[in-house]
Amino acid sequence: MTLDWGVVWQNRDALIKGTATTILLTFATMAIALPCGAVVAVLRLYAWKPIRGLATAYVEFFRNLPLILVVYWAFYVLPILTGFGVSPLLTGLAALALNVTAYNAETFRAGINSIRRGQVEAAMALGMSRVQALRRVVIPQALRRILPVLASTWVSLFKDTSLVSVIAVTELAYVSMQVRAQTFRVLEMLTAMAIIYWLLGYPQAKLVDWIQRRYAVTE
C-alpha cells in the first residue's frame, strides 16, 4: 500500500475551514454553557421547589445521556419544535450546549456547595442579604475552586465537537471523513486529523495542568 500525503495538502482549505468550525463550536458552546450553567445551578440550589426539581431533572437527564444520542435527537426534534429547518451547525451547537450546560451546572453547584456554611453566616452577620453573600463571598471562592474542572470540561468539549460530524456539521472530523470518502485515502486523512486535533489539544491540556496547579485550593 502506497501512501499519498499530497491529498492532505490538496485539501488544505477544507481542512482549515473545518478546524476553524471546530474551534468556533468549542467557543460558542462554552459561551452559552457558562452563563446557562450558572443560572441552572442557582435555580437548582435556591429556586422555588418545583423549579428546583426541573433544573435537577434537566441536569441529571443530559449528564447521563451519550452526547451522540443528544446530537441525533436534536437533529430530528429541533425542526419539529421550531417549525423550520435548522442548520446542522446550529443543531450541533444546541446539542453540545445542552450537554455542556448540564455539566457546568453540576460543576457550579458542587463549587457553591463546597463553600462552608459559616462563610455565608459570617457575611449575613455583617448584615448582608443572601444575594450579597452569594455575590461577594460564595461565588468568588467557588469560581476559584471550579476553574480546574471547567478547564477539563473545555478540553473534553474540544474533542467532543467531533461527534456533531454525524449530522454533517462541516467541522474538522466531518471534513476529513468527506475527503477520505472522495479520495479513499483513509490512513492519510485519519493521520492528518489526529495530528491537527493533537496539536490543538495538547497545549490546551498543558494549560489545564497549569491552571490546576496554580489554583490548587489553599485555605
Partner 1 sequence: MIAENNSGGRAKGTGATIIRYRGVVKRYGAFTALDGVFLNVHAGEVVCLIGPSGSGKSTLLRCTNGLESIEGGDIEFEGTMLPRDERALRAVRQRMGMVFQSFELFPHLTAQQNVSEGPRTVLQMNQADANQRAAALLDKVGLADKAPNYPSALSGGQQQRVAIARALAMNPDVMLFDEPTSALDPETIGEVLSVMKKLADEGMTMVVVTHEMSFARRVGDWVAVFDAGRIVEQGPPRQIFDAPTTERTRDFLSHLGWSG
Q: Is 7 a binder of partner 1 (CB under 8 A)?
A: no
Asked whether the beta carbons of 97 and 32 are under 8 A apart, the reply is yes
Within 88-117, which residues bind partner 1 (CB under 8 A)? Answer: 116
C-alpha cell read off for 157 = 468539549
3-state helix, strand, coil in the chain (%, to 5): 85, 0, 15
Q: Is 126 a binder of partner 1 (CB under 8 A)?
A: yes
Which one, 24 or 128, has the nearer CB to partner 1? 128
**Count of CB atoms within 10 A of residue 164's CB?**
31
Q: Is 129 a binder of partner 1 (CB under 8 A)?
A: yes
Which one, 81 or 131, has the nearer CB to partner 1? 131
- Give phi and psi for 62, each to the nearest 5: -75, -25
Which one, 4 or 121, has the nearer CB to partner 1? 121
Q: Which of 4, 121, 195, 203 binds partner 1 (CB under 8 A)?
A: 121
Q: What whole-number distance in Å separates Cα of residue 123 and Cα of residue 138?
A: 9
Q: What whole-number distance in Å separates Cα of residue 73 and Cα of residue 67?
A: 10
**Residues in contact with partner 1, shown as a per-residue x/- string from 132 to 171 under the rule CB under 8 A:** x---xx--xx--x---------------------------
Q: What whole-number distance in Å separates Cα of residue 23 and Cα of residue 38?
A: 23
**How many residues form the binding site for partner 1 (CB under 8 A)?**
21
Q: Is 118 a binder of partner 1 (CB under 8 A)?
A: yes
The footprint of partner 1 (CB under 8 A) covers: 116, 118-119, 121-130, 132, 136-137, 140-141, 144, 218-219
